[in-house]
A and B are shown apart, each in its own frame.
Chain A
Amino acid sequence: MITVAGGDSHVWGSELADSPHGGSNGYSRNTFTALLAGPNYTCVAYPGLGNREIAHRVIDACTLLVKSKRNLVVVVCWSWPARDSKLDSDDEVLELQNFLELYDIPYLFTCVDNCMITDNPKINWEQWYLFPPGTEPGNTLQSRGFYQWAIENKYSVGVDGHPLEDAHKDAVTLIKEKFDEMVKKHY
């Protein structure tokens, strides 16, 4: 089984110690997506991507892997919709969701910021993991995205502001149960 991860710099692993360059295969193996996946992992995330590109990269990677008859699992951490100059990314989420369901590929979605969350009934929210709401004054009181959760819990960040290894490691302990359940249900 191979895990395909999509997203932006948070999934690429910008500023993590083992992600020294931005070139081919320069992604980190210490992001929460990589740690969830284990050794059979491929990352199609890249810093600065918007959700349209994230969806298309995952679809392209899955299309290739499906042809080679590999068992797949997909994890996507959606970015900010405003990167595509849009107020929401429902179209992109639905495009990828429909593709994955058509090919019977198990998936887990999360996001960097809960501004991704809408009340669109077509989106299968059962397949999403959101980080727990904050409890301190000034924290986000609804379920949060990875970036919100890491910053509001005061995890260390790099010079450019990306949450570092500790946040990714603790994120895995939170997501693992849902990820394992999804994999077990399918394979």
Chain B
Amino acid sequence: MKWLKNIINRIKLEIQYRKKLKELRKRDPFIYK
């Protein structure tokens, strides 16, 4: 079960990171795509 908890924690961290990044991107009005 430890491996499953590790995967869940990694996914949670990835979601947190993406959320923060999305917030930061909103501060940049000049993002060139």
Interface residues of A (CB under 8 A from B): 8-9, 47-48, 79-83, 85-87, 113, 115, 160-162
> CA–CA, A8 to B21, complex, Å?
19
Q: A85-B21, A87-B17, A87-B20 are in contact. Are A80 and B32 (CB under 8 A)?
A: no
Interface residues of B (CB under 8 A from A): 17, 20-21, 24-25, 27-32
Asked whether A9 lies within 8 Å of B30 as measured between CB atoms, the reply is yes
Task: Give the Cβ gap from B14 to chain A, nearest Cβ, in Å.
Answer: 13
Task: Give the Cβ gap from A127 to chain B, nearest Cβ, in Å.
Answer: 23
Q: A87-B17, A87-B20 are in contact. Are A82 and B30 (CB under 8 A)?
A: no
> CA–CA, A33 to B21, complex, Å?
29
Asked whether A82 lies within 8 Å of B32 as measured between CB atoms, the reply is no
Given contacts A47-B32, A80-B25, A82-B28, list 14 more A-B pairs with CB under 8 A. A9-B30, A48-B30, A48-B31, A48-B32, A80-B28, A82-B24, A82-B25, A82-B31, A83-B31, A87-B20, A87-B21, A113-B27, A115-B24, A161-B29
